């Protein structure tokens, strides 16, 4: 469970990406998400949260310490002094990032250095990012994705997450976590809406390409889906697609193709697809309109069919799933 005061907790399946590159899957107990933002405190129902990207944070005492090393790297010509400051700065890891970014943001620091050795601020910055799997999209703030459509930055107030795995319970400190995917089961009946993002929910994306709906189906249970929207797939020459697989070239006006009547059993590029169960290798065709019966029991996953993932994809599909009791 999260280490803060408990109110009404909900059990959720989680998928954690750690800064060292490891992936941990299991279950955890959550309160509603307590997010402190620049505009005030938000209490977000955990059932509305799909993902939390954990920022590297801002700590004044750590930033002051890091800045002392940065000043040595910026001003000293003594290689031994620089070597020591470099090692100390890199050792601080994520805690040094906010100070480094403040340094780069100050116009006074945009000067050409005469130093030609290895112990530079730039090299320390890159080494810290590499060691901690920090990418361009990383942020000092925690970023919460709500309803798979909206994001809000701030500070998610917890110190560690207790994750139950098949090998036992792991107690994972917040500073070790890069992101958390959260899946709260919403039961097996009713109508729900989902947004599939072209720059993430692609079947060929090995890291989060399949959207976990939280809907558990039973074998023989009837369900239906309708979908609209459009995505631009950079991997396919920036062609634009709709959920039924119809497509148009970049800059064209008319769509071609598409499978409204379900004549083919095979999915085509850009089509809405589904599978039942995380370990299933199926890409079952849903298209823009689908009614069917679950062939097996398990969690319902949705995706946009394409074998190659490109993060420059754009657009989204809105999907409505209706499950019969």
263, part of any domain? yes
Q: Which residues contact 205 (CB under 8 A, 6 or more apart)?
A: 309
Q: What is the mean pLDDT of residues 184-209?
A: 83
User: Which of 53-62, 254-263, 287-296 has the lowest average pLDDT?
Assistant: 254-263
pLDDT value at residue 264:
64
- Domain span at residue 202 reads 190-323
Q: What is the CA radius of gyration of the chain?
A: 23
239, part of any domain? yes
Prediction pTM value: 0.61
Identify the CA nearest to 322 among candidates 219, 213, 226: 226
DSSP class of residue 325? -
User: Which of 35-44, 180-189, 224-233 has the lowest average pLDDT?
Assistant: 180-189
Burial label, 218 (beta-carbon count in 10 A; 0-12, 13-18, 19+): exposed
Identify the CA nearest to 298 among candidates 325, 278, 269, 274: 278
pLDDT value at residue 4:
44
pLDDT value at residue 255:
83
Query: Do 225 and 270 lie in a common domain?
Result: yes
Q: Tell me the pLDDT tens digit for each residue of 21-58.
A: 898 988 999 999 999 999 999 999 998 888 899 998 88
DSSP string, 61-97: HHHHHHHHHHHHHHH---HHHHHHHHHHHHHHGGGGH
Identify the residue with better confidence: 182 or 245: 245
Q: Is the pLDDT of residue 189 over 80?
A: no
Work out how many domains the chain is built from and give that number. 3
- C-alpha to C-alpha distance for 191 and 211, rounded to whole angstroms: 16
CATH number at residue 280: 2.60.120.430
């Amino acid at each position: 469970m999260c280490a803060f005061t408990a109110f009404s907790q909900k059990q959720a399946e989680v998928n954690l990406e750690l800064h060292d590159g490891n992936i941990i899957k299991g279950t955890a107990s959550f309160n509603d998400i307590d997010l402190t933002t620049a505009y005030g405190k938000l209490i977000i129902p955990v059932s509305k949260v799909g993902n939390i990207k954990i920022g590297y944070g801002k700590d004044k005492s750590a930033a002051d310490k890091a800045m002392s090393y940065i000043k040595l790297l910026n001003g000293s010509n003594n290689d031994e002094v620089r070597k020591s400051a470099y090692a100390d700065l890199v050792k601080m890891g994520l805690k040094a990032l906010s100070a480094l970014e403040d340094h780069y943001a100050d116009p006074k620091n945009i000067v050409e250095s005469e130093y030609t050795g290895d112990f530079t601020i730039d090299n320390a910055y890159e080494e810290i990012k590499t060691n901690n799997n920090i990418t361009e999209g990383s942020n000092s703030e925690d970023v919460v994705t709500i309803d798979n459509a909206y994001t809000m930055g701030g500070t998610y107030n917890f110190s560690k997450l207790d994750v139950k795995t098949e090998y036992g319970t792991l107690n994972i400190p917040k500073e070790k976590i890069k992101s958390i995917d959260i899946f709260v089961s919403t039961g097996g009946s009713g109508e729900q809406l989902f947004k599939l993002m072209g720059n993430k929910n692609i079947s060929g994306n090995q890291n989060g390409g399949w959207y976990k709906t939280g809907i558990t189906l039973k074998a023989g249970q009837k369900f239906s889906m309708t979908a609209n929207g459009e995505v631009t797939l950079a991997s396919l020459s920036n062609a634009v697609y709709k959920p039924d697989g119809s497509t148009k070239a970049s800059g064209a006006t008319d769509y071609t193709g598409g499978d409204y009547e379900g004549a083919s059993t095979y999915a085509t590029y850009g089509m809405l697809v589904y599978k039942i169960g995380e370990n299933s290798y199926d890409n079952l065709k849903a298209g823009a309109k689908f009614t069917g019966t679950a062939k097996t029991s398990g969690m319902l996953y949705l995706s946009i069919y394409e074998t190659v993932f490109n993060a420059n994809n754009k657009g989204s599909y809105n999907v409505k799933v209706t499950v019969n009791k």
